Structure 1
Amino acid sequence: MTGPEPDDAGDTRAVRRAVRVVNRQITVASCLLVVAIVAASALVVVHQSRPSEMLEPPDPGSHNFYVDTDLVLLALVVIGLGAIVFAAVISRLIAARAVRPLGQALRMQREFVADASHELRTPLAVLDARIQLLQHRTGPDDPAHDALDELRTDSRALIDIVNDLLLAADVGPAAPDAEPTDAADAVTAAVDALRVLADERGIALALAVDGPALVRMPPTALRRCVTALVDNALDHSASGSEVDVRVLTAGRHVRIQVRDQGSGIQGIEPDRVFDRFAHSDPSPGAGRRGGFGIGLALVRDLVVRHGGQAEVASTSGAGTTFVLSLPTVP
């Protein structure tokens, strides 16, 4: 019998976490309610433990019954504990049943994104190839040359978006026997590929590497993450500024830092930049957009699925620093 697909396993873990959160919240609320009821009942029992009726003779034909206070308090405690256990079990069942549709929705969403991305890749590739062919047939002096360049840029942007969607739908956890990747080499390759873009925008792109640092993450995925962070830094940097990339080894983790000199993250909470299609206010004098698309969301998904984390280490008017932290290979 085969196990679940990587994405299904990730969705299963997400659903289980949601069940635990809902179960914990319901259990805590139930416990507080039960404790409050038991405490109130105990106060009443203690307050009435020496009723004035005990000092008065009973009326003719009537009988008074008295209960041991200790026994009443013990019974209240037992009933309260039983109610707490019962509430915990019931909340677990209710949470699991309520969250089950979430897992089905996640699976359907991934299947739709993967299917749509696969269907779009071929026509987009053909469109891009035809645009390239037209570019070769038109000279620099042709009136349509600039328009074709813009079309090619747009087609490449669409292809990148489709690739990101497909990668976000298909990405799985790291294989335990996967070959280690030198983070320094992967980061260097990603930075070198973006130097042309940085030069065109008049932005200095600096790289500092401590030395070889092995991580259990495919080189393609790691390069994709670094490319997304550096590209984001370039988009939010003004001409004449600098984007600094560093690869540091800190204990059992490799830290990849990408720092820009933009105006910082504005109009949105820093942690929300990793949400899909999050938007911030554009940086004055910076690049072409104030949004993050799915690029940073994909970065977080990739890093988390390989045992690491992605975060905004700092952001201010002097710039923003993103940090990827990945466990090193023992």
Structure 2
Amino acid sequence: MTSGSDLDVVRRAGRIAAIQASLALAAVLLVVGAVIFLVDVRVQNQQIAHQLTSVASTADDATDPPPGMQLVVRDLEGNVQGSIRDLPTADLLARPPGFSEARLGDEQYRVLVADKPQGRVVAMLALESYEEGRHRLLLSLGAAELAGILASIAVVVLLTRRSIRPLADALALQRRFVADASHELRAPLTVLHTRIQLLARRFDDGDARQTKDQIDALAADTRALGEVIEDLLASASMATNGVTHDRVDLAEVADAVRDSMAGHAEGAGVGLDVDRRGVAAGDFVVLGSIAALRRALTSLVDNALAHEHSGGKIVIRVDRRGDDVITEVSDDGVGVDPDAVATLFTRFAHGQNHTATAGRQRYGIGLALVREIAVAHRGHIGVSQTPGGGATFTLTLPAAPAP
């Protein structure tokens, strides 16, 4: 049986995969952002170089430079002009031809020194606006990176959870199937145990005929045990592929359940009968899985036996009411605890007022299975107090249309 730790391992592996995928996506986003920034810087440098080259090639004097630029011009006779006062004209004109950087006060400039036939020109472009643009780009990229990383983490976590959900569901289905099998196999094994005890007594009495009858009954019970296993497999198939739509006579199912559970009921000192209330052929026919419906009635009878006293009586009552086939399993035992009704059909929930099987641990699975089968057959299951004491479980299923 798969333990709960297996599911924890799957979930932990999913979280690790989500973290790794998120880090990978974050690294990709960072690389993309860095590439965008470097491309923008390169484009800006090209724009600056083009602007400086254009101005330097057309400048004849230092008056009226373009916005954000300064000019220094020296003609062939050595006359020097500056676009503003206090420019370090001598230092700028002494630079070799080409691009360089210069700082004047708080301003950073890109400098181009160019020699022309008319003399030497120094063109200077303030970089403040370009630097501000780069800062804005960095802030925008940072915000976009953060939003992208957070969004990628959310998406990866969601997709990872969805991807491991089928595996988690499979593990849960496996645990549930094992629990269901344990519950369903317990009842026929109890019947087998009872018959073996009776057989041992017949040997002691030396009654060969009754011993033969008990051996035949044992063989029938082993066949019933195999049928229960088939029922479980059919139920698993029903959970994945849906129920079949065979025509099933619930009265015949009730008779089969009575016959299979009679020995167990007799061993507990409890009577088990079937009461049919229909009159026409086909009154009790529904569409569904005979294996699943027999399993549901067996679980209801087994539950009733667990709450019966020796000398009590259980009745499987099959009736037709309008468009529904009603199957009631009534007992006159200890009844239903009102506080437990709300959770009675919840898996692993169970009452405490067991009688005939008080020495056996119960896991609260059978009634949950009955509800699942009822819902799968477009019906429902309910419970009420039996007048005079005990409980009545009512399985309501839609009747099959006339063939």
Give TM-score, length-normalised by structure 2. 0.43
Partner SS, residue 288 of structure 2: coil
Q: Which has the higher contact order (CA 8 A, sep 6+)?
A: 1
Equivalent position of 2:251 in the other structure: 184
When residues 269 and 101 of structure 1 are mapped into structure 2, their CA distance, relative to the original with a 3 A threshold, is farther
Question: Does structure 2 retain, via aligned residues, the 8 Å contact 1:203–1:238?
Answer: yes
Write the distance in 2 (CA, Å) between the matches of 1:166 and 1:290.
24
Write the distance in 2 (CA, Å) between the matches of 1:96 and 1:325.
41
The one of 305, 315, 319 aligned to 1:244: 315
The one of 167, 174, 185 aligned to 2:243: 174
When you count strand as a share of all residues, which structure comes out higher? 2
Partner SS, residue 246 of structure 2: coil
Partner SS, residue 349 of structure 2: coil
1:99 Cα deviation from its structure 2 partner: 8.7
Where in structure 2 are the equivalents of 1:132-281 lying within 5 Å?
Answer: 169-172=236-239, 173-175=242-244, 178-211=245-278, 212-266=283-337, 268-281=339-352
When residues 220 and 202 of structure 1 are mapped into structure 2, their CA distance, relative to the original with a 3 A threshold, is same
Runs of 4 or more, structure 1, over 4 Å off, are 95-104, 111-117, 158-168
When residues 324 and 269 of structure 1 are mapped into structure 2, their CA distance, relative to the original with a 3 A threshold, is same
Question: Does structure 1 retain, via aligned residues, the 8 Å contact 2:268–2:356?
Answer: no
Unaligned runs of at least 5 residues, structure 2: 1-157, 206-217
Write the distance in 2 (CA, Å) between the matches of 1:192 and 1:261.
20
Write the distance in 2 (CA, Å) between the matches of 1:160 and 1:263.
31
When residues 253 and 219 of structure 1 are mapped into structure 2, their CA distance, relative to the original with a 3 A threshold, is same
User: What code does the residue aligned with 2:300 have?
Assistant: L
1:218 Cα deviation from its structure 2 partner: 1.8
When residues 306 and 256 of structure 1 are mapped into structure 2, their CA distance, relative to the original with a 3 A threshold, is same
Equivalent position of 1:322 in the other structure: 393
Where in structure 2 are the equivalents of 1:35-114 lying within 5 Å?
Answer: 105-111=168-174
1:264 Cα deviation from its structure 2 partner: 1.5
1:159 Cα deviation from its structure 2 partner: 8.9
Unaligned runs of at least 5 residues, structure 1: 1-94, 142-151
Question: Does structure 2 retain, via aligned residues, the 8 Å contact 1:113–1:165?
Answer: no
Write the distance in 2 (CA, Å) between the matches of 1:255 and 1:290.
30
Which is higher, the Rg of structure 1 or of structure 2?
A: 2
